[in-house]
């Protein structure tokens, strides 16, 4: 295999927010300049599975398209013959490698009526489109989930700040009453 390229992340252009997700993982995401939430979806198992499904369907489509092409095979052989008047002398000739033989050739097969293979290729193309559509839908769902989590974090942050302010005011009132 080849060397793995280090992952690079673009610098955040907005505030970084940490959110507790529904499956008890902590996710960090940032907002880009337009206020959209950006998530590292590649870490989600469902996303990785969908991505693998797309890759598998690409390979399957490539295989079925390849089956529509003409087939070209190179054939070759090399061996020894025993040319004798009886079995013992023929065996001796072959063992001593007295008479060698070789052959080479090319065979070409052109599919004339490949309706089945064309159907399989079309089905593989449709499965690839479906997998890509499912992946796009999952990406959108992830962005919605992250956006909802960010809104929940912001809402909770506002409630905490409001509660903190109310507590400070209550402490000030208590201190003024005690004086």
Q: Which residues contact 142 (CB under 8 A, 6 or more apart)?
A: 39, 41, 44, 47
Mean pLDDT for 110-133 is 90
Quickly state the pLDDT bin for 3 (edges 50, 70, 90): low
Predicted TM-score (pTM) of the model is 0.54
Q: What pLDDT is attached to residue 23?
A: 42
Q: What is the pLDDT of residues 143-164, one digit of tens each?
A: 888 888 889 999 999 999 999 9
| Averaged pLDDT, 32-55 | 70
Whether residue 55 is predicted with pLDDT greater than 70 in this model: the reply is yes
pLDDT in the model for residue 40:
61
CB 5 within 8 A of CB 115: no
Judge whether residue 129 has pLDDT over 50: yes
pLDDT surpasses 80 at 59: yes
* Residue-level pLDDT at 147: 83
- Judge whether 10 and 29 are in contact, CB under 8 Å: no
The mean pLDDT of 36-51, rounded to a whole number, is: 71
pLDDT of 20 reads 43
Percent of the chain with pLDDT over 90: 38
**Rounded distance between C-alpha atoms, residue 68 and residue 52, angstroms:** 25
Across 31-35, 88-92, 96-100, 123-127, the highest mean pLDDT is recorded for 123-127
Q: Pull the structure tokens for residue 114.
A: 């490949």
Instruction: From residue 141, give the alpha-carbon distance in Å to each of 45, 124, 155, 158.
Output: 14, 25, 21, 26
**pLDDT > 70? residue 9:** no
Q: Is the pLDDT of residue 18 over 70?
A: no
What does each C-alpha distance from 99 to 27, 72, 89, 102, 105 come to in angstroms? 75, 30, 12, 10, 21
Residue 21 has pLDDT above 80, yes or no: no
**Dihedral angle sign, alpha carbons of residues 38, 156, 137, 36:** negative
What is the average pLDDT value for the chain, to the nearest integer?
80
Q: What is the DSSP letter of 43?
A: G
């Amino acid at each position: 295999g080849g060397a793995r390229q280090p992952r690079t992340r673009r610098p955040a252009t907005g505030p970084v927010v940490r959110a507790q997700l529904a499956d008890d993982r902590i996710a960090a995401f940032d907002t880009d300049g337009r206020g959209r939430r950006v998530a590292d979806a590649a870490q989600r198992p469902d996303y990785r599975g969908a991505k693998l499904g797309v890759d598998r369907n690409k390979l399957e489509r490539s295989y079925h398209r390849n089956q529509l092409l003409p087939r070209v095979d190179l054939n070759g052989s090399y061996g020894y013959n025993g040319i004798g008047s009886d079995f013992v002398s023929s065996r001796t000739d072959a063992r001593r490698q007295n008479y060698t033989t070789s052959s080479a050739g090319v065979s070409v097969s052109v599919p004339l009526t490949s309706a089945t293979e064309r159907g399989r290729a079309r089905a593989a193309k449709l499965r690839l489109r479906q997998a890509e559509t499912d992946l796009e839908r999952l990406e959108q769902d992830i962005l919605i989930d992250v956006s909802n989590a960010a809104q929940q974090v912001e809402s909770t942050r506002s409630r905490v700040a409001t509660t903190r302010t109310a507590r400070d005011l209550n402490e000030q009132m208590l201190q003024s009453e005690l004086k």
